[in-house]
Chain A
Amino acid sequence: MSKYLIDKFLYTVDRDPDLVERYRSEPAELVTWWEAARANTVLNCITGESSTWLRFTDDERQALIAHDHVRLFELGAHPFLTLTLFIAMFERDNKEPLEYQKAFGARLAHFDLPYPDIAT
């Protein structure tokens, strides 16, 4: 269980326009590349000082590749990060204002309080 790493993925992809597009169009390629090349990068450090121990569980990797934001919510990914990145990828397909945002919420309708813990 690596909520921190899921959040790190969402955070680092969301802030890079090229990665947002790659994640939208080629999620398996992007997630695989990111885990190999970026998961262990300490954001404020040079490459030679990367971490050595971070990897996704199979479940987490699969949820990210499938763009499965419901499963990410269930796994305790930070909902603000998920929402922001998924809006960036899919709001452009809206036919009416807030269509994607409302559908995103509706797909989570089966969750009651307390929601999955997001503490990392």
Chain B
Amino acid sequence: MASIVAVIASTHHPFYYKASTATGEDRPPFADEWERKILAFRETLTRANPDVLVMVGSDHFHQLWLDNMPQFLVGKAPFYDANWYNEEREFGLPRMLLKGQEDLSAHILRNGLDEGFDLAFSNELRIDHSITCPIITLRPEADLPIVPIYTNIFAPPLPQPSRFVKLGETIRQIVEQWPSHLRVAIIGTGHLSLELGGPRQFGPHGPDPEFDRKAVEWIATGDLDSCLREVSLDSLHSPGNATHGFMDFMLMMGVAGAGAKADYVDTLDLFHTMEAYFTWYPNGSSALGGAR
């Protein structure tokens, strides 16, 4: 069976690419520290030596639209073109082409349906920065085949937070049952407190530092009980109007497992939003072998 060699949860800040590649006067003052943290975070994936990446993210009204809106969607295609005109325009993101791992896509779709998730699928999916940002930060070679999984954190009505957790738990079980010798890393990105298009946007910090502090604690300690007790679809409006993206972190807590302490935790307090980076090694970091 396949082995899950790393579980990674991260924010996806679309400005990282531009900040980290800027030079001279264009380089923002926070770029050096940000890049150092990203390089350290990248090492947590590199040392796990994965063959395949399952990538959980959320389409930002690019290909998925309100005339035909899936709640959870799995890509199944041999290739995925990536990044969109408005992401090039606003964030300077490059066009990319990623390979797909169709066998694992098919396995997740079949078994997800059988486990009670009526997953939508796409055979031609252009992915956006919720998935390309972690490729850029964690695997900039973009050389590993992926399975993209999109969640709706954006267009109400949304699934309940508990549903995200359950989907994460189910993805973990399904991937562990994949008849393959390959090493799989499951990577998902979301947000801590975030406001977009509202009065609290683009402040000196994230809109709700207290929520961010609690959220980082929940994730780092695998405290799903407290997280599920405090977080609801209604409550997530309070830390910031785009904070429903936190439910993708909750999905990744489900992948990591209740009570699973993260093996790597780092944060960076930036303007606009707090960055947060977590890695779990399900088999223990000592099981990573010679890949280190």
- A residues in contact (CB < 8 Å) with B: 4, 7-8, 11, 14-15, 17, 42-44, 73, 78-84, 87-88, 91, 98, 101-102, 104-106, 108-111, 113-115, 118-120
Contacts and interface: CB of A to CB of B under 8 A. Distances in A.
A105 B271 CA distance: 14
Interface string B102-130: 00000000000000000000000000000
Contacts of B61: 11, 78, 80-81
Nearest to A119: B156
Contact of A109 (B67, B199, B242): B199
- A-side binding surface: helix, strand, loop or mixed? helix
Contacts of A119: 156-157
Interface of B: 60-62, 65-68, 84-86, 89-90, 154-157, 195-203, 237-238, 241-242, 271
18 contacts: A15-B84, A15-B86, A43-B67, A78-B155, A79-B197, A79-B198, A80-B197, A81-B61, A81-B197, A82-B197, A91-B90, A98-B202, A101-B201, A104-B197, A104-B201, A105-B198, A105-B200, A120-B66
Contacts, number: 79
B68 A108 contact: no
Given A11-B61, A80-B154, A87-B90, A108 B66 contact: no
Q: Is the interface of B mostly helix, strand, loop or mixed?
A: loop
Nearest to A82: B197
B155 to A, nearest CB: 7
A102 to B, nearest CB: 5
